[in-house]
Amino acid sequence: MSDPKTYQNLIGGEWVPARSGKTFENRNPADTRDVLGTFPHSGADDVADAVAAAQAAYNKWRLTPAPKRGEIIFRASQILQQRKEEYARDMTREMGKVLAETRGDVQEAIDMGFFMAGEGRRLYGVTTPSELPNKFQMSVRQPLGVCGLITPWNFPMAIPSWKIFPALICGNTVVIKPAEDTPLSTYNFVQALIDAGLPPGVVNIVSGYGPEAGEPLVKHPDVKVVSFTGSTQVGKHVSQLCAEQLKHLSLEMGGKNPMIVMDDADLDLVIAGAVWGAFGTTGQRCTATSRLIAHRSIVDELVSRVQAEAKNIRVGNGLDENNQMGPSINEQQLGTVQKYVGIGKEEGAELVLGGARLEDGDYGHGYFHQPTIFTNVKRDMRIAQEEIFGPVVSVIPVDSLEEAIDVANDVPYGLSSSIYTRNVNNAFVAMRDLYTGIVYVNAPTIGAEIHLPFGGTKGTGNGKREGGTQVLDTYSEWKSLYIDYSGGLQRAQIDNAE
């Protein structure tokens, strides 16, 4: 453990405390005696300062050629590569997930940077012929201005990178409010950008809590784009606030992701995938596999084998490379996990593994919970419908592919889904009929790559996608350009009707 540091907001290239002087602590969820640092507990006045700085930097950044913007992003990714281990360790300390996974989180930011740096030389628009002679036309992307970004704690560097890099490559400037549980990883990420040569004011950080700092950011009239990742409940509120001012908005919210296991599946593959999908990141991914929808003829074997495997998961401090699963992020999240374990029991589901907090010895200093499996879960039980965001998976037996897909789709969310089968016909039916933004075949519901669109249907989102080139649509607007070189007035075809 090292001494806690004092971190400041980043506004217009200067590190400054909150105007109120208030701070909050960032503690390690695996060992709450370990304080990483104190961060500004920002309010509306700090947000206003940051938005003003972003607004002041906008014109120059907008007019910086996109390939030059891309070069800075490219260099930032190279710096992240050099600092990967250091930043991964910081992230494990503040977020709890094991080092192998925090290295992956930094890697996802690196990948996103290299991908978006390349967009600096593409940002393709469209040219198309005119109805009229001697007339040229095309459409181009335009930036919007200041983007207000609100990011979650479960992917503390990857998700900021999904938002910041595309915002920048399109020519926008940024104010980010990172999750109060994991601000350090955003600081580390932005430090890489600064060291890569990002001009002052182009990215600003305001740390703090949703009501005090997040809400003023969403409401600020100079913020033209809002991108939010978090709970569906808060996302709806953000959406209402944005509607008042018709702001551009991207929402990425909950999931209740199913893995369908058919009777012809390769069970060795299924077991490995189910354990990783359900308990990787302590189940704290919006893509986590939280429902196993299994054909009745193989469900008993599936459960006993997943149970045997999950029992051996080594739970503990993620800085110890022997451990495979870390804690919940905080007391409240652990409380949610415990609450749903109680609900599952009350609803009559059968608890076959785990179900309790780990408290003995060193565990007592953190928010650890056992990997937990419920079987004989009915499709409409709350543990089968509601997002738990913890190491809890529900097994739901079904009798056919048709029923499996029906159960899979019968939730308020639609982020990710998967099917394990060796039958190509089943696989294609599932790819067509699973109503989620992401579908995997013979792989768990986690592990999306940054160059494909990421996002979901129904309660998961508002139709926007992160990742892929599709993300550029959040951070740019289309402008259509018509150039008449005929030397005369040419009325449009509709105005020339015979």
Give the number of residues in contact with ligand UN1, rule: CB under 6 A: 9
Closest distance of CB 154 from ligand UN1, Å: 5
User: What is the per-residue binding string for ligand UN1 in 339-378, x denoting contact by CB under 6 A?
Assistant: ----------------------------------------
Asked if 259 interacts with ligand UN1 (CB under 6 A), we say: no
Segment near ligand UN1 (CB under 6 A), from 204-212, 282-290, 370-378, 400-408?
282-290
The DSSP bridge pattern shows strands 372-375 and 350-353 to be antiparallel
Q: Please pick, from the candidates 26, 154, 257, 421, the single residue that binds ligand UN1 as defined by CB under 6 A.
A: 154
- Rounded to whole angstroms, the Cα distance separating 93 from 90 reads 5
CB of 467 to ligand UN1, least distance (A): 9
What are the backbone dihedrals phi and psi of residue 386, each rounded to the nearest 5 degrees, phi first?
-105, 145
Residue 468 sits in the site that holds ligand UN1 (CB under 6 A): no
Tell me the window of 49-57, 165-173, 388-396, 442-450 that interacts with ligand UN1 (CB under 6 A). Answer: 442-450
Please give the structure tokens belonging to residue 55. Answer: 């607004």
Among 193, 218, 286, 430, binds ligand UN1 (CB under 6 A): 286
Give min distance, CB of 229 to ligand UN1, in A: 7
Catalytic residues: 252, 286
Task: Determine if 157 is a binding residue for ligand UN1 (CB under 6 A).
Answer: no
Chain centroid offset of residue 322 CA: 27
Q: Are 97 and 326 in contact (CB under 8 A)?
A: yes
Contacts of 370 (CB under 8 A, 6+ apart): 315, 353, 354, 355, 356, 357, 358, 391
Continuous H helices in 83-124? 84-95, 99-119
Q: How far is the CB of 288 from ligand UN1 (least distance, A)?
A: 7
Q: Does 436 bind ligand UN1 (CB under 6 A)?
A: no
Q: Which of 97, 285, 295, 465 binds ligand UN1 (CB under 6 A)?
A: 285
Of the candidates 381, 392, 375, which has an alpha carbon nearest to the alpha carbon of residue 293?
375
Query: DSSP string spanning 403-460?
Result: HHHHHHH-SSEESEEEEE-S-HHHHHHHHHH--SSEEEESS-S----TTS-B--EETT
According to the binding rule CB under 6 A, does residue 448 interact with ligand UN1?
yes
What distance lies between CA 295 and its chain's CA centroid? 31
**Edge-to-edge, what's the strand order for the sheet holding 248-252?**
14-16, 9-11, 203-205, 173-177, 146-150, 223-229, 248-252
Which residue bears the tokens 């926007």? Answer: 464
> Between 104 and 133, how does the x/- string for binding to ligand UN1 read (CB under 6 A)?
----x-------------------------
Task: Answer whether 325's CB lies under 8 Å from 391's CB.
Answer: yes
Residue 255 beta carbon to ligand UN1: minimum distance, rounded to whole angstroms: 7
> Which of 17, 318 has the CB closer to ligand UN1?
318
Q: Report the residue number, 153 or 475, with the smaller CB distance to ligand UN1.
A: 153
DSSP state of 350: E
| Conformation bin of residue 468: beta by default, left when phi > 0, alpha when psi is -120 to 50 | left
Phi, psi (5° rounding) for residue 231?
A: -75, 155
Asked if residue 447 binds ligand UN1 (CB under 6 A), the reply is: yes
With CB under 6 A as the contact rule, the residue among 186, 287, 336, 436 that binds ligand UN1 is 287
Query: Least distance to ligand UN1 from the beta carbon of 40, Å?
Result: 25
Asked if 179 touches ligand UN1 (CB under 6 A), the answer is: no
Match 């929402």 to its residue by tokens: 251
DSSP bridge partners of 439: 417
Judged by CB under 6 A, does residue 155 bind ligand UN1? Answer: yes
Q: Kindly indicate which of the ranges 94-102, 174-182, 212-220, 444-452 contains the residues binding ligand UN1, using the contact rule CB under 6 A.
A: 444-452
Smallest gap from residue 392 Cβ to ligand UN1 (A): 16
Q: Is 446 in the site for ligand UN1 (CB under 6 A)?
A: yes
Binding site for ligand UN1 (CB under 6 A): 108, 154-155, 285-287, 446-448
